[in-house]
Amino acid sequence: MPKRIHLVASLALGVCLILSGLAGAQTDPLPSWNDGPAKQGIVKFVQAATDSSSPQHVPPAARIAVFDNDGTLWSEQPMYFQGFFAFDRVKALAPKHPEWKTQQPFKGILENDMKAVAAAGEKGLVEVIGATHSGMTTDEFAQTVKDWVAQAKHPRFKRPYTDLVFQPMLELLAYLRANGFKTYIVSGGGVDFMRVFAEEVYGIPPEQVVGSVGETKLEMRNGKPALLKLPKINLVDDKAGKPVGIHRFIGRRPVLAFGNSDGDQQMLEWTAAGDGLRFMGLVRHTDGEREWAYDRQSSIGRLDKALDEATQKGWTVVDMKRDWKVIYPFQK
Bridge partners (DSSP) of residue 284 are 319
Q: Binding to a copy of itself by residue 247, rule CB under 8 A?
A: yes
Looking at 45-53, 82-90, 105-113, 224-232, which segment touches a copy of itself (CB under 8 A)? 224-232
Considering the complex, state which of residue 262 and residue 323 has its C-beta at the smaller distance from a copy of itself.
262
Considering the complex, state which of residue 53 and residue 218 has its C-beta at the smaller distance from a copy of itself.
218
Considering the complex, state which of residue 60 and residue 288 has its C-beta at the smaller distance from a copy of itself.
60
Interface with a copy of itself (CB under 8 A), residue from 101, 248, 296, 325: 248
Looking at 106-114, 213-221, 308-316, 324-332, which segment touches a copy of itself (CB under 8 A)? 213-221
Considering the complex, state which of residue 13 and residue 119 has its C-beta at the smaller distance from a copy of itself.
13
Phi/psi for 48 (5° steps) reads -65, -40
Interface with a copy of itself (CB under 8 A), residue from 3, 53, 55, 61: 61
Q: Binding to a copy of itself by residue 276, rule CB under 8 A?
A: no
Residue burial 216-243, b: 16+ Cβ < 10 Å; e: rest: beeeeeeeeebbbbeeeeebebbbebbb
Alpha-carbon distance values, 91 to 100, 108, 153, 282 (Å): 10, 11, 15, 35
Interface with a copy of itself (CB under 8 A), residue from 114, 136, 236, 244: 244
Which residue in 84, 200, 199 sits closest to 151, CA to CA? 84
In three-state secondary structure terms, 99 is helix
Q: Binding to a copy of itself by residue 199, rule CB under 8 A?
A: yes
Q: Binding to a copy of itself by residue 171, rule CB under 8 A?
A: no
Angle at 279 between CA 274 and CA 281, to 5 degrees: 125
Considering the complex, state which of residue 126 and residue 273 has its C-beta at the smaller distance from a copy of itself.
273
Q: Contact 301/285 with Cβ under 8 angstroms?
A: yes
The one-letter amino acid code at 162 reads: T
Q: Contact 104/116 with Cβ under 8 angstroms?
A: yes
Q: Binding to a copy of itself by residue 182, rule CB under 8 A?
A: yes
Total chain residues near a copy of itself (CB under 8 A) = 49
Q: Binding to a copy of itself by residue 44, rule CB under 8 A?
A: no
Contacts of 270 (CB under 8 A, 6+ apart): 242, 243, 246, 253, 254, 257
Interface with a copy of itself (CB under 8 A), residue from 3, 96, 98, 218: 218
Rounded to whole angstroms, how far apart are CA atoms 243 and 98?
A: 41
Interface with a copy of itself (CB under 8 A), residue from 56, 138, 180, 329: 138
